[in-house]
């Protein structure tokens, strides 16, 4: 169990390319000494005074995040040494992450090399959509886990083996809470929101939006049909995350996508060697 959010940390990692079927490997984060669970987790079930239990919980959280941060630093160095841009894409379920990534992969073919790490609790549906768009993809199924961690991403990177000068897009598990806590070793954090979710999300989930280098407001083609105040959303975002850039787009129609592509292209490292 994860001492920070209580989720299970077992993960299965499946590698797909445009020309291969899945190769399946069990990736258990539940037992390794440096992984995302702890041998002393049963201690949390001991009846302790409230103050002692609170201290124990904080200690477990700190250990989980410290171990994850060490793995994330190793991922970051691995990516930097190879000249690879990694982007952590976070959102609530149904905001359009996979649609965005499939369109991005298809339309930028020939302009940049994109690999995708797909995070979901179950199924390979999203990985199959990326594969159909021509992308190389690894699917991570987290089981009961509500976020990816740096250890999972390290294993996925080994399976992908992305080339120098390329982009790795990490589609995190749909959740506006826990993914914000876990560094994956990425160079940029992108939060995707949709107009169908309501304009109050930056105020209700401030920690997630504070992490963002870029916020993408998706499904703008539906603005005539939903109650969504773009000005209020933009104002609230500035209050919570004044340094985050905001771009409006529709991954379905393609409107506004070029600004997103430009953001990526400006950040792709030059190919080494």
pLDDT tens sequence across 113-164: 999 999 999 999 999 999 999 999 999 999 989 999 999 999 999 999 999 9
Do the beta carbons of residue 265 and residue 165 sit within 8 Å? no
Do the beta carbons of residue 87 and residue 167 sit within 8 Å? yes
Q: 42-65 burial, b for 16+ CB within 10 Å, e for fewer? A: eeeeeeeeeeeeeebeeebeeebb
Residue by residue, pLDDT tens for the chain (273 residues) are 565 566 755 678 777 765 443 443 434 433 333 333 333 332 223 333 555 556 666 665 677 789 999 999 999 999 999 999 999 999 999 999 999 999 999 999 999 999 999 999 999 999 999 999 999 999 999 998 999 999 999 999 999 999 999 999 999 999 999 999 999 999 999 999 999 999 999 999 999 999 999 999 999 999 999 999 999 999 999 999 999 999 999 999 999 999 999 999 999 998 765
Do the beta carbons of residue 191 and residue 243 sit within 8 Å? no
Spell out the SS3 assignment of the chain.
Answer: CCCCCCCCCEEEEEEECCCCCCEEEEEECCCCCCCCCCCCHHHHHCCCCHHHHHHHHHHHHHHHHHHHHHHHHHHHHHHHHHCCEEEEEECCCCCCHHHHHHHHHHHCCCCCCEEEEEEECCCCHHHHHHHHCCCEEEEEECCCCCCCCHHHHHHHHHHHCCCCCCEEEEECCCCCCHHHHCCCCCCEEEEEEEHHHCCCHHHHCHHHHHCCCEEEEECHHHHHHCCCCHHHHHHHHHHHCCCCEEEECCCCCCCCHHHHHHHHHHHCCCCCC
Q: CA 231, 237, 243, 247: dihedral to nearest 10 degrees?
A: -60
CA–CA gap between residue 256 and residue 261 (Å, rounded)? 9
* All structural domains of the chain: 11-29+83-267 (3.40.50.300)
Q: CA 40, 173, 80, 189: dihedral to nearest 10 degrees?
A: -110
CA–CA gap between residue 47 and residue 40 (Å, rounded)? 15
């Amino acid at each position: 169990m994860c001492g920070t959010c209580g989720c299970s940390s077992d993960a299965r990692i499946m590698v797909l390319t445009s020309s291969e079927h899945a190769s399946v490997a069990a990736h258990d984060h539940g037992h390794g000494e440096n992984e995302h669970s702890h041998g002393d987790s049963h201690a949390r079930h001991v009846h302790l005074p409230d103050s002692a239990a609170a201290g124990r919980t904080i200690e477990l959280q700190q250990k989980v995040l410290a171990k994850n941060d060490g793995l994330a630093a190793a991922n970051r160095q691995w990516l930097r040494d190879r000249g690879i841009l990694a982007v952590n894409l976070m959102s609530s379920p149904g905001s359009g992450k996979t649609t965005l990534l499939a369109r991005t992969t298809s339309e930028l073919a020939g302009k940049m090399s994109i690999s995708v790490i797909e995070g979901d609790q179950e199924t390979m549906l999203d990985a199959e959509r990326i594969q159909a768009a021509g992308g190389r993809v690894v699917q991570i199924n987290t089981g009961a886990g509500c976020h990816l961690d740096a250890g999972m991403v390290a294993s996925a990177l080994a399976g992908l083996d992305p080339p120098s000068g390329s982009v790795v897009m990490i589609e995190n598990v749909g959740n506006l809470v826990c993914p914000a806590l876990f560094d994956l070793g990425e160079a940029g954090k992108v939060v995707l929101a949709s107009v169908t979710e309501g304009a109050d999300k930056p105020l209700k989930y401030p920690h997630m939006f504070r992490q963002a280098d870029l916020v993408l407001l998706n499904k703008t083609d539906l603005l005539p049909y939903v109650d969504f105040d773009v000005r209020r959303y933009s104002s609230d975002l500035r209050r919570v995350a004044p340094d985050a850039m905001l771009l409006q787009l529709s991954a379905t129609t393609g409107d506004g996508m070029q600004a997103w592509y430009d953001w990526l292209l400006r950040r792709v490292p030059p190919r080494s060697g």
